[in-house]
């Protein structure tokens, strides 16, 4: 049985017996963690620490930290390449040797049992999908620094192999796998763009940009597969070198796994898994000019309803309208978001920057939340958690279901809600002047900066009375 086949069987395997009392606390420092998905191991970095954090919680997306109530409190951080995310709530139950990592803003949790003198964790990751369903995946972690993608998936070079030519071969493959690529996913007609950075030693990072948002911070490696290995795509008995790019992301909500073979012509072909069920294939070809359609051209005002007349509810349940005195008479940036959406969390830093720059000139920010369950009390609580995490001080109102077709019908002001977040640029007279679909987060680099400049250009005439 191939290593990946074994990993897929682990997806449904039962956990080992319970831990002993002397295994009640996790080893401090770095861990290699992974989710057992239908596509194989989905790895991410994990770190445990004790004591008070060095700084208060941050709304930034590259590195977030949270303060501990006591110097003995446990802290944990998950990592994807250059992104570090503080786990909001960490609980260690010494009596049962249980570790709980909570991501309340995503309504998700990891619960695991400590084993092997506190150097191994086995348990379950669980996140709410909607009102009645949950995403659920086995979770595992081992203490100690380790390569993100385990070498167990690849056979070792034959004994006596000269490593220097292999290093040169890997460096050449890394150069071919680095750069900007035009991407086509099998389940979408829309174009996508990939940005990959692969070092000569094979360590890799990158992201995908799509018309609905980016795939955040991905990290992994480019590795060589050896004859007899059938653990990735099925290879490699033709006597030629085969290199595979593997990237992953786990942030408490997203669970992304990408695998692809680097082909002779420098293109890539492989698979994408998300969560506990989604799978599609993808192809990429190098293209330094690859680009997405302008986010301002994807959705448009429908004219079926007036935004300022829509009945909305605040987090206490009171019916509100954007046309009432508390909101009206000012240019507005209205954001359609979901507390469950990582790209919407990424957007908070951008929104706060725009608020600092333009609120003194009269801009008002308003968030319209589209949530997952339809249970008002639960959805309102999730939005409060979102606001607390990012220290949001602009109004947040509940607008309806996260289902995009339902959101389109509820709003009635757009031809189609295509993504969360979506940004509505509204003049002081209530006229919808522009719509931007999706968000390029900090993982997208230059695209993120260009998007900010485009938002500024769109806001300027609204605040000038244009």
User: What CATH number is associated with residue 228?
Assistant: 2.40.128.120
Quote the CA–CA distance of 375 and 454 in Å, as a whole number: 36
Sign of torsion, CA 248 370 212 366? negative
Residue 148 in domain? no
Cα separations (Å) of 322 from 30, 162, 246, 319, 431? 48, 70, 46, 10, 12
**Dihedral Cα 410, 415, 420, 423, nearest 10 deg:** -100
Cα–Cα nearest to 320, from 397, 248, 384, 258 = 397
Q: Which of 259, 286, 313 is the last residue of a domain?
A: 286
Residue 149 in domain? no
Q: Coil, strand or helix: which one is 67? A: coil
How many domains does the chain fold into?
Answer: 3
Per-residue pLDDT tens listing for the chain (466 residues): 444 444 444 443 433 344 444 458 999 999 999 999 999 999 999 999 998 765 433 334 444 433 334 457 999 999 999 999 999 999 999 899 999 999 999 999 999 999 999 999 999 999 999 888 999 999 999 999 999 998 755 656 777 878 888 889 999 999 999 999 999 999 999 999 999 999 999 999 999 999 999 999 999 999 988 665 444 445 666 767 889 999 999 999 999 999 999 998 999 999 999 999 999 999 999 999 999 999 999 999 987 668 888 899 999 999 999 888 888 778 999 999 999 999 999 999 999 999 999 999 999 999 999 999 999 999 999 999 999 999 999 999 999 999 999 999 999 999 999 999 999 999 998 889 999 999 999 999 999 999 999 999 999 999 987 5
| φ/ψ bin of 391: left (φ > 0), alpha (ψ from -120 to 50), beta (otherwise) | left
Residue 458 · residue 434 · CB < 8 Å: yes
Cα separations (Å) of 157 from 166, 223, 241, 250? 9, 12, 11, 30
* pLDDT at residue 5, as a whole number: 44
Residue 68 · residue 75 · CB < 8 Å: yes
Looking at the fold, whether 305 and 375 belong to one and the same domain comes out as yes
Looking at the fold, whether 13 and 68 belong to one and the same domain comes out as yes
Cα–Cα nearest to 252, from 446, 110, 435 = 110
Residue 106 in domain? yes
Model confidence, pTM: 0.88
* Max Cα distance, the chain (Å): 79
Residue 421 · residue 411 · CB < 8 Å: no
Looking at the fold, whether 133 and 10 belong to one and the same domain comes out as yes
Q: Which of 260, 286, 312 is the last residue of a domain?
A: 286
Parent domain of 125: 3-143
Tokens 């990429």 locate to 284
Looking at the fold, whether 347 and 454 belong to one and the same domain comes out as yes
Cα–Cα nearest to 322, from 313, 134, 191, 37 = 313
* pLDDT at residue 59, as a whole number: 37
Looking at the fold, whether 304 and 433 belong to one and the same domain comes out as yes
Q: Which of 286, 318, 353 is the last residue of a domain?
A: 286
Quote the CA–CA distance of 62 and 443 in Å, as a whole number: 8
DSSP secondary structure code for residue 113 in this structure: E
Q: Coil, strand or helix: which one is 360? A: helix
Looking at the fold, whether 323 and 262 belong to one and the same domain comes out as no
Looking at the fold, whether 281 and 304 belong to one and the same domain comes out as no
* CATH value at residue 374: 3.40.30.10
* pLDDT at residue 424, as a whole number: 97
* pLDDT at residue 237, as a whole number: 67
Paired with 41 in beta bridges are 36
Quote the CA–CA distance of 314 and 370 in Å, as a whole number: 13
* pLDDT at residue 158, as a whole number: 72
């Amino acid at each position: 049985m191939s290593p990946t086949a074994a990993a897929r069987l682990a997806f449904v395997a039962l956990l080992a017996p319970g831990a002993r009392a002397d295994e009640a606390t996790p080893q401090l420092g770095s861990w290699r963690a992974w989710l057992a998905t239908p596509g194989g191991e989905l790895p991410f970095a994990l770190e445990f620490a004790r004591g008070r954090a060095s700084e208060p919680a941050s709304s930034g997306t590259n590195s977030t930290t949270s303060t501990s109530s006591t110097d003995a409190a446990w802290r944990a951080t998950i990592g994807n390449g250059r992104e570090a995310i503080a786990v909001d709530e960490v609980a260690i139950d010494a009596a049962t040797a249980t570790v709980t990592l909570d991501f309340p803003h995503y309504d998700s949790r990891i619960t695991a049992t400590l084993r092997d003198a506190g150097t191994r964790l086995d348990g379950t990751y669980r996140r709410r999908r909607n009102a009645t369903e949950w995403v659920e995946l086995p979770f595992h972690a081992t203490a100690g620094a380790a390569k993100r993608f385990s070498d167990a998936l690849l056979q070792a070079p034959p004994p006596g192999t000269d490593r220097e030519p292999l290093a040169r071969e890997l460096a050449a493959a890394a150069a071919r796998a680095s750069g900007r690529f035009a991407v086509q996913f099998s389940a979408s007609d829309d174009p996508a763009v990939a940005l990959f950075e692969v070092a000569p030693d094979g360590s890799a990072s990158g992201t995908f940009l799509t018309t609905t948002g980016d795939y955040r911070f991905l990290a992994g490696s480019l590795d060589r597969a050896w004859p007899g290995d059938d653990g990735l795509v099925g290879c490699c008995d033709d006597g030629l070198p085969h290199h595979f790019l593997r990237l992953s992301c786990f942030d408490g909500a997203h669970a992304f796994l990408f695998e692809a073979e680097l082909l002779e012509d420098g293109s890539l072909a492989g698979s994408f898994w998300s969560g506990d069920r989604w799978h599609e294939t993808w192809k990429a070809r190098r293209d330094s000019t690859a680009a997405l359609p302008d986010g301002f051209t994807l959705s448009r005002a429908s004219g079926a309803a007036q935004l300022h007349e829509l009945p909305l509810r605040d987090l206490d349940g009171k019916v509100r309208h954007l046309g009432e005195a508390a909101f009206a008479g000012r240019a507005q940036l209205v954001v359609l978001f979901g507390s469950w959406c990582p790209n919407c969390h990424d957007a908070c830093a951008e929104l706060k920057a725009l608020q600092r720059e333009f609120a003194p000139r009269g801009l008002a920010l308003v968030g319209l939340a589209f949530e997952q369950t339809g249970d008002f009390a639960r959805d309102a609580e999730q939005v409060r958690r979102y606001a607390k995490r990012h220290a949001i001080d602009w109004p947040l109102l509940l607008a309806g279901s996260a289902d995009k077709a339902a959101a389109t019908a509820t709003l009635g002001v757009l031809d189609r809600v295509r993504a969360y977040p979506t940004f509505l640029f509204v003049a002081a007279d209530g006229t919808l002047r522009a719509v931007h679909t999706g968000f390029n987060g900090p993982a997208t680099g230059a695209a993120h900066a260009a998007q900010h400049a485009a938002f500024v250009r769109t806001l300027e005439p609204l605040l000038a009375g244009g």
